[in-house]
Chains A and B, each alone.
Chain A
Amino acid sequence: SQWGEENLQALSIQEGEDVTMNCSYKTYTTVVQWYRQKSGKGPAQLILIRSNEREKRSGRLRATLDTSSQSSSLSITGTLATDTAVYFCATDAGTGGYKVVFGSGTRLLVSP
């Protein structure tokens, strides 16, 4: 498998709380991407972090990448009920961006 011992499968929090999701991967990758998938929709890319970057921010989102431990995290600050979704991390499995290989995802439920 491409993936290590994965992040929690499901998280349930209250609106306004901060949350961090983790993933670890086994195969070299040039990028780690985080996607969000809402019910009935296709995945939407949230953040793309390259192997030469340690951190990337986008609004309330912050992604980190540790290539030495081959792990990444996605943090969301001040969660909203609309953040309820499944969050996937994905790598390119060493293809240099030619494909995206998804992990099993974390189901996040944010209650108002």
Chain B
Amino acid sequence: DSGVVQSPRHIIKEKGGRSVLTCIPISGHSNVVWYQQTLGKELKFLIQHYEKVERDKGFLPSRFSVQQFDDYHSEMNMSALELEDSAMYFCASSLRGGNSDYTFGSGTRLLVI
């Protein structure tokens, strides 16, 4: 698959639990951004990493942390999950910061029960 790959596609967790979402950007893309989308509404900007450095943070809860690794893949660690964390989580990548040609992954659907 030459696109942005997200895993898992679907996940169900209990309230208070933990989860890890993974994003593999397009080869060579070092800019990775995460978004949250609830009920098909607008995409909320969560956080951006470029060249393994956090560049901007938006609505990312303090219970979540995101890291970008040497191969530019990104992981979102989610803890103390709350019911309102139930949403689609998308990541997108672009070649470099300042390049707006983003490609989105297919998303991870998280359901907290």
| A residues apposed to B, CB below 8 Å | 30-31, 33, 37, 39, 41-45, 48, 86, 88, 92, 95-105
Contact = CB atoms under 8 A, between A and B. Distances in A.
Nearest to B43: A102
A97 B107 contact: no
A101 B45 CA distance: 7
Given A42-B105, A42-B107, A88-B42, A96 B92 contact: no
A70 B50 CA distance: 28
B42 A102 contact: yes
A25 B40 CA distance: 21
A43 B56 CA distance: 21
Given A98-B50, A98-B56, A45 B102 contact: yes
A35 to B, nearest CB: 8
A96 B56 CA distance: 13
Interface residues of B, number: 28
Contacts of B43: 43, 88, 102
Contacts of A99: 33, 45, 48, 55-56, 58
9 contacts: A31-B100, A39-B40, A43-B104, A44-B104, A45-B102, A95-B56, A98-B31, A98-B98, A99-B45
A82 to B, nearest CB: 18
B100 A97 contact: yes
B40 A86 contact: yes
B110 to A, nearest CB: 15
